[in-house]
Amino acid sequence: MRLGAAPAIGRLSADGLLLDAEPRLAELNRRAGGGPGRPVAVPQIAALVRLVRRLGIPLTRAIVAADGEDDITLTVRAEPDELGIRLEVNGWRAGAPWEAEHAPRRASDFLRADADWVWTTDAALHLTHVSDHAGQSFGFDPQMVLGQPITRLFSLSDDGDGGFPILGALASQNRFEGQEAMIRATAHRVRLSAVPRLDANGRFAGFDGAVHAITPLPSPPYAAETGGTAEPNTDLPDGFSRRIGRALRHPLGRIIANADSMSAQADGPLRDDYVAYAADIASAGRHLMGLVDDLEDLSAIERADFEVALEDIDLADVARRAAGLLGVRAVQGNVRIDRPSFDDSLPARGEFRRVLQIMVNLIGNAVRYSPSAGTVWIRLERDGENACVIVADQGKGIAAGDQERIFTKFGRVDPTEAGGSGLGLYIARRLARAMGGDILVDSAPGQGARFVLVLSGRP
């Protein structure tokens, strides 16, 4: 094969079948086991095609493909067109991939290690990745913004002089910091930073970005109740959990994403036992990510200066969002979530992201302990000046003697049973009480459980 020549063009139908390809691409695909009228057989190109079909946007990737006993480095661009998908394959270089991207990658890893969550765009600033845990923390569905312009997720703020750091960086294809923005779905203020991504030819391919939450203005009540000192009341060193969390989130996220890709056989068929191993790795990664979340929250809520930012919220809206975030888990467990309708509204006072965190915990527990074909009900009530959300399940129930234990730190009724860290309900009740509310439980063995989040209603 003659390497380093002009691009090879190929065309695929809307359902991903190869219509035609120029000779070099056709021959590479044939040697991989493919042919006209069939899906692309080169696994890395096939994975890119599937992603472009799902997102509906053009993407460029540098790949290394096996060609007999040799490896070749290719730059593949896939973009939707009137026939389906157009492929343009450049590079055709023998040996290892181009190395000049290492410095930007190191800069990206350094930038993202300290982030609350991360994102990636293509060269046109369409989102191609958003951290899964961003949804739980900030109340939106990360999957719904993939393929959308970055401005669909963020409302960008100028720098006071009419300039936008991200646009200056786009023009110069350089890194940027300090771009303030608002998450459109929730009005949370954040600060964005990013470094450029380069393709195998050194061309701008998008941004690897980070999000840092802008700390809300302090609100009065909780620190005063605990004495107002800043000494941590946890067994962990001050700031330890947050530093560990930031160090672990990115590598854990990559482990989970790669294991999910292997489990879904996105790059081609695998042996059944390998698929099972990959699914186990992804499950273990999510469990570790949950522990990281719990440790960070535990460290935060046990500080004497922990505060919440009370605001006007709609408990019905928060409950719907939490149910939406848990929809996939419910489907996997064959559990139906009966959520409030879009016409329902229940004004209350609380911090949006903390109330969402509580609701995700309560609904997630209900889904976890529900039998197959069971239902989880979410109901709204007004009790005098209080607003209440009730989460009821059809699980095995909780004995009266265990109902306080489940709210203690690391408290679990059956430690041998699969589940979380034993911190979720402890953290949830601490958060509810910090907002002037509480979490109550009503249950009996064999009769399911009803957890009630109570918050002050809006005046």
Q: What is the pLDDT of residues 57-97, one digit of tens each?
A: 777 777 777 766 667 878 888 888 878 899 988 877 765 44
Model pLDDT, residue 243: 58
Rg of the chain over Cα atoms, rounded to whole angstroms, equals 25
Per-residue confidence band for 228, with pLDDT thresholds at 50, 70 and 90: very low
Q: What is the DSSP string of 93-129?
A: EESSPPSTTHHHHHHHHHHHHT-SEEEEE-TT-BEEE
Please check the confidence at residue 234 and state whether its pLDDT lies above 60: no
pLDDT at 12 over 80: yes
Look at residues 258, 180, 237, 185 and name the one whose alpha carbon lies nearest to residue 212.
180
Digit-coded pLDDT (tens) for 111-120: 555 677 888 8
pLDDT of residue 359: 92
pLDDT at position 271 over 70: yes
pLDDT on residue 363 = 93
Whether 297 has a pLDDT exceeding 70, the answer reads no
The answer, as to whether pTM is greater than 0.85, is no
Is the pLDDT reported for residue 450 higher than 90? Answer: yes
- Helices 352-368 and 315-325 pack at an angle, to 10 degrees, of 50
Q: What pLDDT is stored for residue 69 in this prediction?
A: 63
Res 221 pLDDT > 50 = no
pLDDT band (50, 70, 90) for residue 378: very high
Q: How confident is the model at residue 348, as a pLDDT?
A: 94
Q: How confident is the model at residue 5 (pLDDT cuts 50, 70, 90)?
A: low
CA-based nearest residue to 282, from 312, 252, 310: 252
Angle between helices 272-301 and 240-263 (to 10 degrees): 160
Helices (H) and strands (E) in the chain, counts: 14, 18
**In this predicted model, what pLDDT tens digit does every residue of 275-296 receive, in sequence order?**
777 776 776 676 666 666 666 6
